[in-house]
Chains A and B, each alone.
Chain A
Amino acid sequence: MEPNDELADELRASTRKALDDRMPTSVLRGVIDTDDRFDRGLYALAADLGWLGLTLPESVGGVGGTWHELAVVIEELGRSMAPLPVVSSVVLGAGAVLLAGDDDQQQRLLPDLAGGRTIATAALTAASGRPADGLTARLERRDGAVVLSGVSGFVTDAHLATWMVVAAVDGADVGLVVVDAAAPGVRIERLDTTDVTRRLAHVHFDGVVIEAVDVLGGGDNVEMRRELLRRAGVAIALDSVGGLGRVVETTVEYVAEREQFGRKVGSFQAVKHHCANLLILSETSRVAARAAADGIGGARWPEWAAVASSYCGDAYTEATRIAVQCFGGVGFTWEYDIHFFMKRARLSQQLFGNPTHHRQLLVDELRFATPVG
């Protein structure tokens, strides 16, 4: 943790500028009305700006950066709510191949991903979308071939993906396989969620044949899946931190302008205290998510991942609830933007495990590791 973090500050400024230019909410409103909820041009720009290759090694076309920089980009994406599959591609898809793939697999899949030519995601949960539930996709051996059947639930950006990493029951183990989204037997059922800034899908597999080169892992696959979910949780926490910052700003702007009873409503103590609470939620979430991102791979990483995921999910939803309260009636008009954040927060709170789930993970960490303190 560096107090003068000029590189990160520069990255933040340039990322924010690009997203402010290309994805203000006026543009976002158009994009989310389309079935794909995707801006291909902006994704190409994301590749040009290096967001996709930030944490990938140079050997596969990345820049070999750390999560410290990736965190900045994810926060800014959360702030703008830009519907770009960066977390899906980089954290989930590429993350899985880097963790569980061999050199050949990495060389085959990642350069195109870093260049924005392909999009990836990972299907890590059961039909319910809950990480703790038993997987509902399974691998079978038929006539010497590996075949994938069943369903993965609530997969992010599956409708855009060229390929995805699927976690499936494999006998007593968990299998991790790369699946071509266009392969025969793959059906992507797009979901209509209350959050309109993202697109999720149930992915159905009906006897999808998996080539040997597409089988990942071979080590502790259960732990690899767990690690991917941990990273996904922290990515969502960072996204929430970006959203929280914007929620504080727009709410403060509104209450500083709106007048009732001959005064700015922001001068009423009840409203002012709501705003102070917003800032506290935002600041505490920020330190939690950044500490987690900076600590990835370190001794306390699993613990911090659970801390950030559990805390930020609750904080973001609570903050949007307060914010809508401060906006009053206009807060639930489609015209104002605040409801987009409210619904995004709601989905984020549940994706890749809800706060209770993450607190349970923290319990497991604390039990397993040294006592608290």
Chain B
Amino acid sequence: MFDDDADLQAFRLRYREFLHEFAPHGWRAHATTTDATLDIQRSWLRTLAAHGWAAPHWPAEYGGMDATLAEQIVMQQENSRAGAPAVTMFGMALVHAAATLLEFGSEEQRRRHLPHILQGDEIWCQGFSEPGAGSDLAALSTRAVRDGDRYIVNGQKIWSSGADRADRCLLLCRTDPDVPKHQGITFLLLDLRSPGIEIRPIVSLLGSGEFCEVFMTDVVVPVTDRVGEENEGWHICQTTLSTERGPYLLPVVNKLRDECAAMWTMAEAIGTDHAAQVAAGFHAEVAILSELIDRTLLQAAFGKSGNESSILKVYYSELSQRLTTAALEMAGLDAQLAWTEAFDLNSDTFDGSWGLSHYWSWSWTIAGGSNEIQRNIIGERVLGLPREPRPEARRS
């Protein structure tokens, strides 16, 4: 419920004009394969960059705009309004990699990567989770052994979204196995073209390969590609992870809103009070979610402590699950037909397949720290409840 002040309104109009002139039309019809979608997004990112709009949240000296949160939100709103492509495949680069480098990277690392990221020349992925380190991320066992001015890396990463098309990877490795598990982790920037790397897509329940496994055998990473000091990776990766909150949630709300509208249409067709009331109930909750996000963003902007991102995450992910469950019930057998091939899971609009939305909603309750972990965080860090007694800190 932001009311634009005059400056913000001017900003909004300026961006709206830009979109009006440059945003592509009819691109959805061409986004029939992942590669085609990638081309559309890359081309749009370059257009944005050429006009200075590509990375509003970055400092101006690296090609950003030092945009306020309110301005970023305005841009998201205008993107939705104009139906512009979202540059989701570059999200890990523009958001996570950039946030990490801007806070902990060396000047040389920033100069090396940020311009390429801005131009859509570098796609990044994340190499955090492992088969034995999911919810318990700090139990990761990929080893990086120092050898002069380089590290030799061996191990396996999993759930790395888009690794098969990525150029670089934000990598967490164990560099000291003899200290408590959180203290022996180092943050590296891995060039995915290095010898010794094998990438295999994992076929997800959607039948497509959103996630990949990354196998590393004696992979060489120069010490100059280390972020921060050795064994300080755990602290650094918290920044990478925390950037998932913020304005980047707005497309999620847009999609839920879109789904609500679709559900409303179905409910009206069904024609019972009950169906309409169910749809209205979800409409109410999406409105509340949107309000909650605005407020969380405001708090972040005004330096009041958040820790609310966990509340947000649990609420929106489960709302999405409940909503799509109810929609599948309303939609009947029609919604059981397989979806068409092309889909963009990160789209901010509903693509017409309740099945797709429903099954994908589990990625929200599991990925990025499962909702069980989020509830622990809420209990322990927000409410101050005692921690679960843990077995002696072990390293795997």
Contact = CB atoms under 8 A, between A and B. Distances in A.
In the complex they form, whether A and B have CB atoms below 8 Å apart is answered with yes
Interface stretch (B11-19, B137-145, B178-186, B383-391): B383-391
Contact of A372 (B257, B292, B375, B378): B257
B249 interface: no
B224 to A, nearest CB: 41
A3 B385 contact: no
A363 B273 contact: yes
Contacts of B82: none
Contacts of B376: 269, 272-273, 276
B77 to A, nearest CB: 13
B266 to A, nearest CB: 12
A269 B372 contact: yes
A256 B388 contact: no
A275 B381 CA distance: 12
B250 to A, nearest CB: 14
Nearest to A365: B280
A252 interface: yes
Given A272-B376, A273-B372, A279 B383 contact: yes
A198 B292 CA distance: 31
A316 to B, nearest CB: 14
Contacts of A356: 277
Contact of A252 (B268, B302, B384, B388): B384
B284 A256 contact: no
Q: Is the interface of B mostly helix, strand, loop or mixed?
A: helix
Interface residues of B, number: 49
A311 B385 CA distance: 27
B311 A3 contact: no
B329 interface: no
A268 B385 CA distance: 10
Q: Is the interface of A mostly helix, strand, loop or mixed?
A: helix
Contacts of B298: 1, 3
A283 B314 contact: no
Interface in A268-291: 268-269, 272-273, 275-277, 279-280, 283-284, 287-288, 291
Contacts of B2: 1
A4 interface: yes
Contacts of B299: 3
Given A3-B298, A283-B292, A373-B261, A276 B276 contact: no
Contact of A280 (B279, B302, B311, B385): B311
Interface residues of A, number: 43
Nearest to B350: A373
Contact of B281 (A256, A267, A359, A371): A359
A297 to B, nearest CB: 14
A141 interface: no
A268 B388 contact: yes
B385 A263 contact: no
A363 B282 CA distance: 11
Given A359-B281, A371-B261, A256 B288 contact: no
A222 B382 CA distance: 46
B1 A276 contact: no
A273 B385 CA distance: 11
A283 B302 CA distance: 19
A257 B380 CA distance: 14
Given A3-B301, A277-B375, A288-B288, A360 B273 contact: yes
Interface in B349-396: 372, 374-376, 378-380, 382-389
Given A3-B299, A276-B375, A276-B378, A311 B288 contact: yes
Interface string A355-373: 0100110110011000111
A295 interface: yes
A304 interface: yes
Given A284-B292, A287-B292, A304-B287, A272 B302 contact: no
Contact of B382 (A256, A279, A307, A360): A279
Given A273-B379, A306-B284, 8 more contacts: A264-B385, A267-B388, A272-B379, A273-B375, A287-B288, A360-B280, A367-B268, A372-B257
Of all A-B residue pairs in the complex, the 3 with the closest CB atoms, nearest first, are: A272-B379, A276-B375, A276-B378
23 contacts: A1-B294, A256-B386, A268-B388, A269-B388, A272-B388, A275-B378, A275-B379, A275-B383, A276-B314, A276-B378, A276-B383, A277-B375, A279-B383, A283-B311, A284-B285, A284-B288, A287-B291, A288-B288, A311-B288, A362-B283, A372-B264, A373-B257, A373-B258
